[in-house]
Amino acid sequence: MPANLLKPFEWVLGRFSVDMGIDLGTANTLVSVRGRGIILNEPSVVAVNKDTGEVLLDGMAVGNTAKAMLGKTPGAIEAVRPLKHGVIADFDVTEKMLRYFIKKVHEDRHWVKPRVVIAVPVGITPVERRAVIHSAERAGARKVYLIDEPMAAGIGVGLPVTEPRGSLIVDIGGGTTEIAVLSLAGGVVATSLRKAGDDMDEAIINHLRRQHNLLIGEQTAERVKLTIGSASEMDQELSMEVKGRDYITGLPRRTTVTSIEVREALSYPVQEICEAIRGILEEAPPEISADLCDSGVTLVGGGALLYGIALAVTEQLGVPARVADEPLSAVARGTSIFLDNLEVFSRVLTAEEDA
């Protein structure tokens, strides 16, 4: 069918579709819909058959269902995280994951063609940007817009990103930490640090192996981080029982871990994030720096939920820091607002996405 005949057809399908904003993260994918807010928040994990590459359960082994399989699959099945450090590592699996989320939003209706806004890391290459666009189009999107994650986060938490005032946003995700100074609907200075929540989990895994001779998996490490992890001293230090495999004997074993030792394990990735923020502050123009004396640092993302992270940033950098309300959904909320105000934020789009 000629392309000029397809356009009216796609327009009709679009009338029956729900436009979506997607925070396509390394660890979690959140979907926001106009007027309904966040309607999906699931892990960015897909369970596939190694031999055929097909998604299990007729394409439904995605998100929470697939994450439960991480580290527990038999030989013929693999639980895959298709994004690494915020960019697509497995094109086909990412497409299948996006198709699952689009179908779920539309309650399994076929022949839908929504407009989709996807948040991507700062500084990804043109090839990586095109990979995201093509994956979404092949998954069923009618039109795909890309927005940098810090801008989406700033919009989502209500920072004055369109005004001539500097705002510093730090999005601590699973695979990357996105840091940007925003003003006049654009990024003044920005960077993407490949140290984030996954590296915190890895630090806990390494600590348990070295100090307790205990091997644990990613999910256990994440539970430890969320339960007793911290970046600053806690009012009351905690402890928890951790189960895994003995490094020496190879047998199942349990041990007790304290919040003090977990904080020590997390100190290195936290320090790296603080140093990256320092680097951005040093690059900011003087007038922007004057604004940041008052507005400080706004923290979002799953990593912002780490106890005491704002205090650690303030103590190390000497600038006020705060965790935004509902930090985990900030980027997804921003993509939805962006979709509602395309004319206002059109300058954020690259030529390719605005075509």
Residue 108 or residue 133, greater confidence: 133
Please state whether beta strands 115-120 and 87-88 pair in parallel, antiparallel, or not at all (unpaired). Answer: unpaired
Who's near 126: CB < 8 A, 6+ residues apart? 352
What is the model's pLDDT at position 69? 83
Residue 162 or residue 342, greater confidence: 162
Lookup: tokens for 263:
């904080």
All CATH 3.90.640.10 domain ranges of the chain, comma separated, are 197-265
What is the CATH architecture of 3-44+81-152+332-349? 2-Layer Sandwich (3.30)
Number of Cβ within 10 Å of residue 316's Cβ equals: 17
What is the model's pLDDT at position 15? 53
Residue 183 or residue 85, greater confidence: 183
Predicted confidence (pLDDT) at residue 343 exceeds the cutoff of 80: no
What is the model's pLDDT at position 155? 94
Who's near 219: CB < 8 A, 6+ residues apart? 67, 70, 71
Contact by Cβ (8 Å): 107, 133:
no
Which pLDDT band holds residue 109 (cuts at 50, 70, 90)?
low
Please state which of the ranges 73-82, 176-185, 286-295, 309-318 shows the lowest mean pLDDT: 73-82
All CATH 3.30.420.40 domain ranges of the chain, comma separated, are 3-44+81-152+332-349, 165-195+270-327
Residue of 22, 21, 23, 27 lying closest to 303 (CA atoms):
27
Predicted confidence (pLDDT) at residue 355 exceeds the cutoff of 60: no
Predicted confidence (pLDDT) at residue 34 exceeds the cutoff of 90: no
Over residues 322-331, the mean pLDDT reads: 95
Q: How far apart are CA 270 and CA 198, in angstroms?
A: 12
pLDDT tens across 231-246, in order? 999 999 999 999 999 9
Contact by Cβ (8 Å): 120, 146:
yes
Lookup: tokens for 231:
């970046």
Over residues 22-36, the mean pLDDT reads: 89
Which pLDDT band holds residue 334 (cuts at 50, 70, 90)?
very high
Please state whether beta strands 37-43 and 28-33 pair in parallel, antiparallel, or not at all (unpaired). Answer: antiparallel
Q: How far apart are CA 71 and CA 47, in angstroms?
A: 11
What is the model's pLDDT at position 262? 97
- Number of helical (H) and strand (E) elements in the chain, helices listed first: 13, 17
Strand-pairing partners, residue 258, are 239
Query: CATH number of the domain at 197-265, please?
Result: 3.90.640.10
The percent of residues in the chain predicted with pLDDT above 90, rounded, is 60
- SS3 letters for 62-81? ECHHHHCCCCCCCCCEEEEC
* Residues belonging to the chain: 355
CATH fold, domain 165-195+270-327, is Nucleotidyltransferase; domain 5 (3.30.420)
Please state which of the ranges 27-36, 210-219, 310-319 shows the lowest mean pLDDT: 27-36
SS3 57: helix
| Residue appearing with tokens 């680097």 | 279
Please state which of the ranges 43-57, 103-117, 280-294 shows the lowest mean pLDDT: 103-117
Predicted confidence (pLDDT) at residue 301 exceeds the cutoff of 90: yes
What is the model's pLDDT at position 315? 96
Over residues 303-326, the mean pLDDT reads: 96
Predicted confidence (pLDDT) at residue 123 exceeds the cutoff of 50: yes
Over residues 51-75, the mean pLDDT reads: 84
Q: Which segments within 16-70 are labelled E, that is strand?
A: 20-24, 28-33, 37-43, 46-49
Over residues 6-24, the mean pLDDT reads: 66
What is the model's pLDDT at position 351? 40
**φ, ψ for residue 280, nearest 5 deg:** -70, -40
Predicted confidence (pLDDT) at residue 8 exceeds the cutoff of 80: no
**Angle, alpha carbons 85-88-94 (nearest 5°):** 125
| Residue appearing with tokens 């179908």 | 103
- Give me the sign of the Cα torsion angle 227, 232, 237, 239: positive
Which pLDDT band holds residue 346 (cuts at 50, 70, 90)?
low
* Cα distances (Å, whole numbers) of residue 334 to 156, 194, 264, 281, 348: 4, 22, 34, 23, 13
What is the model's pLDDT at position 182? 95
What is the model's pLDDT at position 110? 60
Which pLDDT band holds residue 348 (cuts at 50, 70, 90)?
low
- Say how far residue 189 (Cα) sits from the centre of its chain: 20
Q: How far apart are CA 306 and CA 220, in angstroms?
A: 16
**φ, ψ for residue 62, nearest 5 deg:** -130, 150
Q: How far apart are CA 133 and CA 126, in angstroms?
A: 11
Contact by Cβ (8 Å): 191, 168:
no
**pTM of structure:** 0.88
Q: How far apart are CA 277 and CA 273, in angstroms?
A: 6
Number of Cβ within 10 Å of residue 137's Cβ equals: 16
